[in-house]
Amino acid sequence: MPQRHFFATADDLLSLFELVEKKHSICYVLTGLFDQQERTNFTTGTSLPTLRATAKESSLMCPTYLVMLKNLAINVRSVVQTDGSVLYSVDQLLNPDSITFTHGGMFSHEVLISGRVATVSSTPTSRSLHSTFSNAIAKLFTRVNTFYVGPVALGLLRQGCRLTNAVQSPQEFDLEKPI
């Protein structure tokens, strides 16, 4: 599964969205299980309702969006629950021409949670979208160990902010300041 991990504030991501959205006409759709089948598409990364919200305590708990070409239909699947009710899933299973984007973000003034762009698909479209995001991240962000760090996030790191995958993770696993 190709993936690229990064640390970025919402302000860091603005230039990323601009660069990516110049190359592809895309939309973003929140992933997960929902009570209703209808889903809202966001046509720009800057319009994501969670972009400037306080991040969850772990990158695994942060909102994740499917990123797909605007002209593609979003396929939603029904998932029967143990009580017989039905929830509707938005994920890559029925949307192979997509990637996932988790923006992470500020948990508190002292903690920045990581983000990730990834895909489980190997279609030409998903590979192209992943490559576009990955290349834009590499171009705009600074590599620190195995992570890419946005300009504002790098300043926070240098000021002593924790850059981590999870608040509860021991600080020895946080991203270390570059020398």
Report which residue type is found at 144. Answer: V
- Phi then psi dihedrals of residue 135, to 5 deg: -65, -40
The confidence score (pLDDT) of residue 179 equals: 65
178 — pLDDT class (breaks 50, 70, 90):
confident
User: Mean of the pLDDT values across residues 69-90?
Assistant: 96
The confidence score (pLDDT) of residue 177 equals: 79
**pLDDT, tens digit, 9 for 90 and up, residues 8-25:** 999 999 999 999 999 999
In angstroms, rounded to a whole number, what is the distance separating the alpha carbons of residues 123 and 71?
A: 16
The confidence score (pLDDT) of residue 1 equals: 81
Q: Over 90: is that where the pLDDT of 62 sits?
A: yes
DSSP 57: S
**pLDDT, tens digit, 9 for 90 and up, residues 85-125:** 999 999 999 999 999 999 999 999 999 999 999 999 999 99
Cβ atoms < 10 Å from Cβ of 131: 14
Cβ atoms < 10 Å from Cβ of 120: 15
Radius of gyration for the alpha carbons in the chain, expressed in angstroms and rounded: 17
**pLDDT, tens digit, 9 for 90 and up, residues 39-52:** 999 999 999 999 99
